[in-house]
Amino acid sequence: MPAAAAPVALPESVDEVLQALADEPEAMILAGGTDLMVEVNAGRRRPVSVVSLTRVRELAGWSRDGDEVVLGACLTYADMERGPLAALVPALGQAARTIGSPQIRAAATIGGNLGTASPAGDTLPVLAALDAVVETAGPQGSRRLLVGDFVTGVKQTALLPGEIVTAVRVPLRRGRQEFLKVGTRNAMVISVVMVAVVVDLDGRTVRAGLGSVAPRPVRARSAEAFAAEHADWRRGAVASPDVVARFGQLCAEATSPIDDHRSTADYRRRAVAVCASRALARVLPPEGVHGDGGPSDE
């Protein structure tokens, strides 16, 4: 009979993590702890064993891989909110900086945001807008799923027993990005509404991800198509206020918000429209992001 597993496993590789989860199928997976420990402190969850991911080097940090960045599951928001990664994926940096407080951002991870899969998960609308791909590892090997397929419902994911998130692959897009969030203050707030709008100047698309307005992150496809159709792509501009307003309306129509203790469905729809319009006017401003000489790096 093997020795009883330690109640806290501190594996140092993904293989060791998967083995620890195979040994202790009921184990709770711990990364930054900012979701799990709230539940434990409140007595809502009582762990009998824990598998910690924080010592796994493969899961830390991020790297550039061609026209993508690969974010390790244990990358913290503090690592995302400024520096070279925030320059490469500005909307993700903006979203990261709105999360919690410096203390929370020093601990909480992008893999945890995905694993928890809260409708209010702050990075999820950005990842959805960018068509980021979640990489998982498990007993049956590794898988890749679009964020939109990974999150299956309110705090529900496509993770199978014994599987973990190992990384997120985020495509790099040339063009401006904006993330806006409504809450009762600038820190320590669970979002009432989130809007991420990303421009792809090369693909000539506008991408809109919405959060806290449906069980899962929402892509506002008809709003995206409308904006792309009405943008002046030579200048990178949306000059008409009517287009900006209509884009906001179409984003609001893509949502299915609820009334809850943080807000009402009506307010959420209204706030999405305002934020989406504001975001579009920033990423494709009336004066354009290009000079008249044609496409350039802004």
Partner 1 sequence: MTFRLTVNGRPRDVEGAWLGESLLYVLRERLGLPGSKNACEQGECGSCSVRLDDRLVCACLVLAAEAQGRSVATVEGLSAGDRTLTDVQQAFLDQGAVQCGFCTPGLVMSVHDLLDRNPAPDELELREAISGNLCRCTGYGRILAAARTVVERRAAATPERELP
| Binding site residues, partner 1, CB under 8 A | 7-8, 10, 30, 32-34, 36-38, 40-42, 46-50, 52, 54, 78, 100-104, 106-107, 186-188
Of 42 and 87, which has the nearer Cβ to partner 1? 42
- CB contact at 8 A, 190 and 262: yes
Q: How far is the CB of 85 from partner 1 (least distance, A)?
A: 17
Decide whether 84 or 203 has the Cβ nearer to partner 1: 84
- Give me the least distance between CB of 189 and partner 1, in Å please: 10
Cβ contact 218:209 at 8 Å: yes
**Residue 52 or 166: which CB sits closer to partner 1?**
52
Tell the smallest beta-carbon distance from residue 34 to partner 1 (Å): 5
Decide whether 47 or 162 has the Cβ nearer to partner 1.
47
Q: Would you say 41 or 293 has its CB closer to partner 1?
A: 41
Closest distance to partner 1 from the beta carbon of 18 (Å): 19
Shortest reach from residue 180's CB to partner 1, in Å = 18
Judging by DSSP bridges, how do beta strands 50-52 and 28-30 pair with one another?
parallel
